[in-house]
């Protein structure tokens, strides 16, 4: 079936209009590891110092979103935030060392996501005895009174929502026996996983792990809260007993379970419910890998922590001992008696994924991009719930422009099958309309990625002008209720440059380098290839500051630029290296030669650390000069 798409449902139009009207959410530059000895500017009072210790962002992007929320609040409230996050902070020993460093750097407030809710308590007690305010984020210590306040979602409630949905889902099939449950726990040293498990069991109707009239736990295994250990745990559970439903205590563990179930051909038969609510998690609900995720809001936790800290530092106002940042259950199929939100609402409030700077459509600075993303996501949500019937509801009478004109269809939706065949086109039904679609190989590649969504940029001939038209296409993957994997997309012409474009370019280049090492460089240098879009290009540095790839300024390749300064004396390359090597990724701004004129203008860049298969550490980045540059951190 090929139809013409021109109109959205009322819901989709409202979502698109809301996206265009609502202001973009600003973000701040990345906060670095604590460094002693930084001085206040002359004539300006020293900013009060807040220390943030989070668990590894590499293990779970949840903590990156939490840190980002804290950074936003710190910028707005004019306080200095020093953060410690990484593999070391995944252990209590690493967190103890980070605590000592932050206190030595003058931190008067400590925000911490405890790696071990009991073992960290003595060190926190010593800090409080020195007059330091200590706030636990994401979950409590044991006892909770070991800190001045706990700022988190209610993990019991989050688990209970997942449990209630799981029970309703099971009972919808009118079973003649109790459900056989598999539980994939978080490490026992933390209280968060235990609370989520307890909430799930209560929501399903079990007082504790064991058997009851509604369900029995046939397998319960501890994981590290990551994909690898959870996949192994799920495989073990499947070898021990038949399973009807899986509860994973966080989304990385749920992803591991889903991977094992997919390999066994059990995705459709064994539902997975979980807690977190990341953008990838909501995508997994849309694709059918998860049936529900209890969405928490780590960015709100970080913001609330800094706000409470600033109130205490400046006004002596102590925070309430318990601050609840809320939870919502995201589902594709609502069930009676279980409060939930739909995929569209979940995508609008999600965190992490691509783009990683803000939540959902709020990551975009410009109305055109926000409208495109909102329209695609509304169509994705409709198709996920109603399948081909939703496509029929969305179609219109077609465009008035000549069939096959790429420009004519640039602002309309299209739908492709998982093999790239057109199911719905933006123009009248014709082979020319299908030929006018963006590169289908790239569309399928984006659809097959872990995120299942992203942007594609290509050139179009422009007979009316010397310069070509640039087409930017946003595409998302969706699984219909009939089990068909589809791609929904929308194009726009000469789009303003968005931060999300830079992030995706860097992430895709880094992934290529991680697979192929320096053999990836020719593809990055190709000025007609995917890594050069308008004046956006990818550059690569080694850890010493030698430029390895620069397609627009090839004369810089092979030169050590570590001491290079911009027009204001800023050591640009050194700053980019320090940011990427310390934090993993982040944003910088400098005065840099414009590729169009060669004259210095403000340039923003996104940089990220990557390791080649040979173990070489490189920094890959992409940037854009004014006037094309979007607001930094939007």
* pLDDT 10s digits, 554-569: 999 999 999 888 877 8
Distance CA 282, CA 35 (A): 37
Owner of token pair 């979940």: 346
- pLDDT for the residue 201: 95
| Nearest-10 Cα torsion for 179, 185, 190, 195 | -20
Give the three-state DSSP class for 116: coil
- pLDDT for the residue 14: 26
**Interstrand relation of 292-295 and 322-324 (parallel, antiparallel or unpaired):** unpaired
* pLDDT 10s digits, 12-34: 322 332 333 333 232 333 334 43
Q: Half-sphere exposure of residue 507, counting CA atoms within 13 Å on the CB side?
A: 17
> H/E element holding 425?
strand 422-425
- pLDDT for the residue 391: 79
Please give the model's pTM, rounded to 2 decimal places.
0.54
CATH superfamily name and code, 25-38+45-153+298-324: Response regulator (3.40.50.2300)
CATH C-level class of 499-625: alpha beta
Strand segments (E) across 223-327: 245-248, 272-276, 292-295, 322-324
Decide if 280 contacts 154 (C-beta within 8 A). Answer: no
Phi, psi (deg, nearest 5) at residue 485? -90, 120
In sequence order, the β-bridge partners of residue 460 are 469
Alpha-carbon separation of residue 595 from 246, 321, 550, 620 (angstroms): 53, 54, 11, 19
> H/E element holding 230?
helix 227-240
129: Cβ–Cβ under 8 A, 6 or more apart, which residues? Answer: none
pLDDT of 395 > 70? The answer is no
SS (H, E, C) 143-210: CHHHCCEEEECCHHHHHHHHHHHHHHHHHHCCCCCCEEEEEEECCCCCHHHHHHHHHHHHHHCCCCCC
pLDDT of 351 > 70? The answer is yes
* pLDDT 10s digits, 396-406: 433 333 333 44
In sequence order, the β-bridge partners of residue 493 are 471
Owner of token pair 């998860």: 290
In sequence order, the β-bridge partners of residue 623 are 537, 605
- pLDDT for the residue 209: 66
Question: CA angle, 183 as apex, 180 and 186 as ends, to 5°?
Answer: 180
Average pLDDT along the chain: 81
Question: 279-287 and 251-263 are packed helices; what angle lies between their axes, rounded to 10 degrees?
Answer: 30
pLDDT grade for 39, boundaries at 50, 70 and 90: very low
Alpha-carbon separation of residue 475 from 437, 454, 472, 478, 483 (angstroms): 12, 6, 10, 10, 19
pLDDT of 356 > 60? The answer is no
**Interstrand relation of 80-84 and 49-53 (parallel, antiparallel or unpaired):** parallel
User: Which one of 1.10.10.60, 1.10.274.10, 3.90.180.10, 3.40.50.2300 gives the CATH number of domain 155-295+328-353?
Assistant: 3.40.50.2300
* pLDDT 10s digits, 69-85: 888 888 888 899 998 87
Listed residue (73, 86, 78, 77) closest to 32, CA to CA: 86
pLDDT of 361 > 70? The answer is no
Residues forming CATH 3.30.450.20 domain(s) in the chain: 499-625
Establish whether the linkage from the previous residue to 627 is cis, with ω within 30° of 0: yes
> H/E element holding 548?
strand 547-549
Sign of CA dihedral 317, 318, 321, 326: positive
Distance CA 278, CA 282 (A): 6
Distance CA 321, CA 538 (A): 47
**Interstrand relation of 245-248 and 272-276 (parallel, antiparallel or unpaired):** parallel
* pLDDT 10s digits, 519-575: 999 999 999 898 998 888 999 999 999 999 999 889 999 999 998 888 778 888 988
Alpha-carbon separation of residue 53 from 35, 64, 89, 99, 138 (angstroms): 14, 11, 7, 8, 12
pLDDT of 160 > 70? The answer is yes
Of 548 and 88, more confident: 548
Decide if 471 contacts 410 (C-beta within 8 A). Answer: yes
**Interstrand relation of 322-324 and 149-152 (parallel, antiparallel or unpaired):** parallel
Distance CA 582, CA 577 (A): 8
Residues forming CATH 3.40.50.2300 domain(s) in the chain: 25-38+45-153+298-324, 155-295+328-353
Decide if 423 contacts 2 (C-beta within 8 A). Answer: yes
575: Cβ–Cβ under 8 A, 6 or more apart, which residues? Answer: 588, 590
* pLDDT 10s digits, 196-226: 999 999 999 997 666 667 899 999 999 999 8
Owner of token pair 């001045």: 148
- Work out the average pLDDT over 381-406: 59
């Amino acid at each position: 079936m090929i139809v013409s798409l021109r109109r959205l449902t009322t819901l989709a139009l409202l979502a698109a209009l809301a996206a265009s009207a609502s202001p973009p959410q600003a973000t701040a530059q990345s906060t670095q590891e604590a460094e002693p000895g930084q001085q206040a500017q002359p004539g300006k009072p020293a900013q009060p110092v807040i220390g943030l210790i989070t668990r590894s962002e590499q293990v779970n992007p949840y903590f990156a979103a939490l840190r980002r929320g804290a950074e936003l609040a710190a910028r707005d409230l004019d306080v200095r935030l020093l953060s410690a996050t990484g593999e070391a902070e995944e252990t209590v020993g690493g967190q103890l060392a980070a605590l000592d460093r932050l206190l030595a750097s003058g931190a008067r407030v400590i925000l911490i996501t405890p790696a071990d809710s009991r073992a960290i308590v003595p060190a926190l007690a010593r800090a409080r005895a020195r007059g330091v305010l200590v706030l636990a984020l994401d979950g409590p210590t044991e006892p909770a009174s070991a800190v001045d306040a706990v700022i988190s979602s209610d993990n019991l409630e989050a688990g209970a929502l997942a449990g209630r949905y799981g029970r309703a889902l099971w009972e919808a099939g009118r079973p003649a026996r109790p459900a056989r449950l598999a539980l994939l726990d978080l490490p026992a040293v933390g209280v968060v996983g235990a609370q989520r498990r307890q909430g799930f069991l209560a929501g399903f109707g079990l007082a504790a792990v064991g058997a009851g009239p509604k369900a029995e736990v046939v397998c319960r295994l501890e994981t590290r809260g990551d994909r690898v250990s959870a996949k192994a745990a799920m495989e073990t559970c499947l070898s021990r007993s038949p399973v009807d439903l899986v509860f994973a205590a966080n989304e990385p563990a749920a992803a591991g379970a889903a991977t094992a179930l997919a390999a066994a051909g059990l995705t459709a038969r064994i539902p997975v419910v979980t807690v977190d609510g990341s953008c990838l998690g909501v995508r997994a609900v849309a694709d059918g890998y998860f049936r529900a995720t209890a969405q928490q809001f780590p960015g709100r936790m970080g913001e609330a922590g800094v706000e409470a800290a600033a109130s205490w530092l400046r006004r002596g106002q102590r925070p309430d001992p318990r601050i609840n940042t809320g939870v919502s259950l995201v589902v594709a199929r609502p069930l009676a008696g279980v409060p939930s939100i739909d995929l569209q609402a979940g995508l609008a409030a999600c965190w992490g994924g691509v783009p990683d700077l803000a939540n959902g459509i709020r990551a975009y600075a410009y109305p055109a991009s926000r409208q495109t993303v909102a329209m695609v996501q509304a169509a994705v949500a409709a198709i996920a719930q109603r399948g081909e019937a939703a496509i029929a509801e969305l179609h219109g009478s077609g465009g008035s422009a000549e069939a096959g004109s790429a420009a004519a269809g640039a602002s309309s939706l299209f739908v492709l099958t998982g093999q790239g065949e057109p199911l719905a086109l933006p123009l009248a039904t014709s082979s020319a309309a299908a030929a006018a679609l963006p590169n289908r190989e790239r569309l399928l590649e984006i659809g097959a990625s872990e995120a299942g969504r992203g942007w594609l940029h290509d050139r179009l001939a422009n007979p009316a002008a010397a310069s070509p038209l640039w087409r930017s296409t946003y595409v998302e993957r969706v699984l219909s209720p009939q089990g068909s994997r589809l791609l929904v997309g929308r194009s726009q012409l000469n789009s303003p440059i968005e931060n999300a474009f830079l992030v995706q370019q860097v992430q895709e280049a880094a992934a290529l380098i991680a697979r192929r090492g320096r053999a990836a460089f020719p593809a990055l240098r190709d000025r007609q290839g995917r890594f050069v879009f308008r004046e956006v290009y990818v550059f690569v540095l080694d850890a010493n500051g030698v430029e390895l790839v620069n397609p627009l300024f090839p004369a810089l390749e092979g030169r050590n630029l570590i001491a290079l300064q911009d027009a204001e004396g800023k050591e640009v390359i050194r700053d980019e290296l320090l940011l990427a090597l310390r934090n993993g990724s982040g944003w910088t701004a400098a005065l840099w030669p414009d590729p169009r004129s060669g004259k210095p203008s403000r340039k923003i860049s996104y940089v990220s650390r990557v390791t080649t298969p040979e173990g070489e550490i490189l920094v890959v980045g992409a940037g854009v000069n004014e006037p094309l540059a979007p607001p930094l951190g939007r």
